[in-house]
Amino acid sequence: MSDSLLNVVRPRAGVVEVVLNDPGRFNALGGEMLEQLIATFKDLALDESLRAVVIAGNGKAFCAGHNLKDMAAHPELQWYQALFAQCTRFMLSIHQLPVPVVAKVQGIATAAGCQLVAQCDLAVASEEARFAVSGIQYGLFCSTPSVPLVRNVPLKKAMEMLVTGEFVSAQDALQAGLLNRVVASDAVDAEVERLLDAIVAKPRISLARGKALLYAQKDMGLEAAYQLAAQTMAINMMDAAAQEGAQAFAQKRPPRWE
């Protein structure tokens, strides 16, 4: 799929890269962009060959969030409700996808763009990237971006970002837990490839069960989390991939997964 707002490419077997392609508007998450993203992720969820997804941005920005000019032109509660509901559907589609989703961040990620980084399962950024939940600068508390943000970074750091709207550097974002890796701008692609190498070498079924379990148990009490995790592991062990892994370990050889 390729059009003016979104490019979807398959750089290698099992991997899809979704590129936000509206650089003139800093890849803002407007209604049309969101609809394309929702449709794309709906298709990806049906792709059983899929092992990982990368989200990137074309141009100087990764994603500047919602376009305030568009929002100012529609001072209607129903319009705002529809936009934020649409964005929520997209964010949940990342959460629900059974494979890891990696944000590849080459520039600024602000407001809902920072939300997108936080919502992805993994994130690699260039040293030049910067992050902010900047809505408060314009009188709008970044409520929806706060949802994944506070699930990634400590509460006080999230609150500081939300009430000041100030930018944080890639290194500060790494230390806070928003990012997994930070590298020089000319090394971002290679670093993402190294991460993908590690992911696609693993059985899809195991990753899918693990991703679902990780997020399901995160907000449970300790006992309920252990019960769910134990049941998930037992079911996982019945999968052919885990059986092959156990046999390979016992026989002191590398596992042979399809």
Q: Do 64 and 110 form a contact (C-beta atoms < 8 A)?
A: yes
Is 204-250 assigned to CATH 1.10.490.10?
no
Nearest alpha-carbon partner for 9 in 53, 47, 64: 53
Superfamily covering domain 6-200: 2-enoyl-CoA Hydratase; Chain A, domain 1 (3.90.226.10)
> What pLDDT score does 2 carry?
42
Q: Could you tell me the residue ranges of all domains in the chain?
A: 6-200, 204-250
Q: What are phi and psi of 128, to 5 degrees?
A: -85, -10
Per-residue DSSP letter, 140 = -
> What pLDDT score does 219 carry?
87
Nearest alpha-carbon partner for 177 in 250, 118, 240: 118
pLDDT, block means (10 residues), the chain with 258 residues: 78 96 95 96 96 97 92 88 93 96 97 97 98 92 94 96 97 98 97 97 94 93 86 84 85 87
> What pLDDT score does 48 carry?
94
pTM (two decimals): 0.92
